[in-house]
Amino acid sequence: MPILSLAWKSLLNRRFTVMLTVFSIALSVALLLGVERLRDQTRASFANTISGTDLIVGARGGAVQLLLYSVFRMGDASNNLSWESYQAIARHPKVAWTVPMSLGDSHRGYRVLGTNGDYFEHYRYARKQALSFAQGTPFSDLYDAVLGAEVASALGYRLGDPIVLAHGASDVAFARHDDKPFRVVGILARTGTPVDRTVHVSLQGIEAIHVGWESGAPARGLSPSAERARTMDLTPEAITAILVGLKSRIATFQVQRYVNDYRAEPLTAILPGATLSQLWSLIGIAENALLIVSTFVVVVGLFGMLTAVLTSLNERRREMAILRSVGARPGHVFALVMGESGVLTLFGVALGFTLLHVLLFVAQPILENQFGISIAIGAPSLYEISLLGIICASGILIGAIPAYRAYKLSLADGLSVRV
């Protein structure tokens, strides 16, 4: 205890240098924990993009490609599946519900999804959390549209505003369906998933705007008016993908095999959870790179502390010699310097953890609104505690270097006269 008291008083005597050292360690710790928490929450958010869906069915192709265009609205399908195949899958005795999806159009850079009312009833994200409306209701009319939270926020739309869809991903004048504008009837609450960046319309609405279109352009004189389209049979001929919910999880592989062996046309059924894990393994390299970089930042911070302590020893040669001359043993000097290093590290870790939570408190609403990432603010996880423990142990261990130097050289170095 006297040694710790002496170490504390010595640190107070060098408070400015000590504060800089502690702050550098705190920044390093905050960065490491921040990257780790961001990495963990991003992985959880990624895995929770879709839940409660047992299978996703699309045209024959790669599992990751099907997941990307059906869930993340990235890329395009290599082919569609027929409406007859959709109905056959929906009638399967082990299928509880299905959600048809038609993709391919866009609105000012955001993807358009054609579906039906079952989408709002059965689509789940996070831990089987249902979609909810911030404003309005689901679509009921042919030309109704429901916007994701990001679409409405970024483009400034309100209920009742008209919107014009465009054919394909590029919003150019000749590809716009401006003869059949839609009306915003609902805005979904933010989910932190690709749903926020999607414009939702009915399957019949998608069919209506494409009547009379050939090869990606309207055929002259064949495109009916918006009111004339209402009287037509708008049953889709083909759709892009199907979300499937089963009556029992036990039947998952049985229904998957039924779809993969479907004879009418080549189809693929994937398990969303397994494919999400496969996709994360492909893109998870970046998060490991971030963790490595932040780890090196912590190492640099600890070596900064080592430099500061070693530099202070050169200024404290007389102090160490006086301690030895009044009866302090070499072990006391060693413990003194080790205690200072331990105190610096502990204060740096505590300040870094506090700083992280302050920054998260400020940045949390910004991350949620701009990027759809929700980062929890709370007690550290077991993994974070282990990281903090490693940092504390490393700081104390590094302190052994200047402590050993003071232990060996304090008396001789302090009393010698240098010319």
**Which tens digits make up the pLDDT trace of 56-84?**
999 998 898 999 999 988 888 888 999 99
Q: Does residue 178 lie within any of the structural domains?
A: yes
Between 384 and 60, residue with greater pLDDT: 60
* pLDDT exceeds cutoff 90 at 1: no
Residue 125, SS3?
strand
Q: Assess if residue 330 is contained within a domain.
A: yes
Residue 2 has pLDDT above 90, yes or no: no
Cα–Cα distances (Å) from 340 to 312, 314, 401, in that order, read 11, 15, 12
342 compared with 356, residue with greater pLDDT = 356
Contact present, 102 and 239 (Cβ < 8 Å)? yes
pLDDT bucket at 417, cuts 50 / 70 / 90: very low
34 with 136, same domain: the answer is: no
User: Are residues 36 and 71 located together in one domain of the fold?
Assistant: no
pLDDT tens digits along 109-126: 899 999 999 999 999 987
Name the band, by pLDDT with cuts 50, 70 and 90, for residue 244: very high
- Out of 207, 242, 270, a domain closes at 270
- Same domain, yes or no, for 252 and 368? no
> Which of 222, 243, 270 lies at the terminal end of a domain, its last residue?
270
Is residue 242 a contact partner of residue 66, using CB atoms and an 8 Å limit?
Answer: no
> 29 pLDDT exceeds 90?
no
Residues 228 and 339 in one domain: no
Q: Cα separations (Å) of 381 from 169, 283, 376?
A: 42, 24, 11
Between 410 and 398, where is the model more confident? 398
pLDDT at residue 186 greater than cutoff 90: yes
322 and 187 in one domain?
no
What pTM was estimated for this model as a whole?
A: 0.72
213-214 and 162-163 beta bridge pairing: unpaired
Q: What's the one-letter identity of residue 10?
A: S
Same domain, 358 and 408: yes
Show the domain range for 366.
2-46+284-415
Select the highest-mean-pLDDT range: 6-20, 59-73, 170-184, 296-310: 59-73
Answer whether residue 419 shows pLDDT above 50: no
Checking phi first, is residue 267 left (phi over 0); if not, alpha (psi -120 to 50) or beta? beta
What is the pLDDT confidence band of residue 328, given thresholds at 50, 70 and 90? low
Instruction: Please indicate, yes or no, whether residues 165 and 195 belong to a single structural domain of this protein.
Output: yes
138 pLDDT above the threshold of 90: yes
Average pLDDT over residues 385-412: 76
Using CA atoms, how far residue 83 sits from 86, 168, 239, 319, in Å, is 5, 21, 7, 87
**β-bridge pairing 144-147 and 182-188:** parallel
Return the percentage of the chain with pLDDT > 70, whole number.
81
Mean pLDDT of the chain, nearest integer: 82
Given a contact cutoff of 8 angstroms between Cβ atoms, the answer to whether 344 and 305 are in contact is yes
In a domain, 260, yes or no: yes
pLDDT number for residue 129: 86
Asked whether residue 98 carries a pLDDT value surpassing 90, the answer given is: yes
* φ/ψ (deg, to 5) at 256: -60, -40
Same domain (yes/no): 42, 64: no
- 3-state SS class at 398: helix
- State both tokens at 86: 């959709």
Mean pLDDT of 7-22: 74
**Using CA atoms, how far apart are residues 354 and 337, in angstroms rounded to an integer?**
26
Q: Is residue 277 part of a domain?
A: no
H runs (alpha helix) in 266-329:
272-283, 285-315, 317-325
Indicate whether 81 and 35 sit together in one domain: no
Label residue 23 by pLDDT band (50, 70, 90).
Answer: confident
Mode of pairing for the β-strands spanning 133-136 and 182-188: antiparallel
Q: Does residue 259 share a domain with residue 121?
A: yes
Query: Is residue 275 in some structural domain?
Result: no
- Taking the mean position of all CA atoms in its chain, how far away is CA 230? 42
Q: Which helix (H) or strand (E) holds 70?
A: helix 63-70
Q: Are residues 90 and 166 in the same domain?
A: yes
Same-domain pairing of 366 and 245: no
Average pLDDT over residues 147-153: 93
Q: Would you say residue 279 lies in a domain?
A: no
Domain count, the chain: 2
Residue 233 lies in a domain: yes
Which has the closest alpha carbon to 271: 25, 45, 57? 57
Among candidate residues 232, 247, 270, the one where a domain is terminated: 270
pLDDT at 395 over 50: yes
Task: Give pLDDT, residue 384.
Answer: 82
Within-domain flag for 354: yes
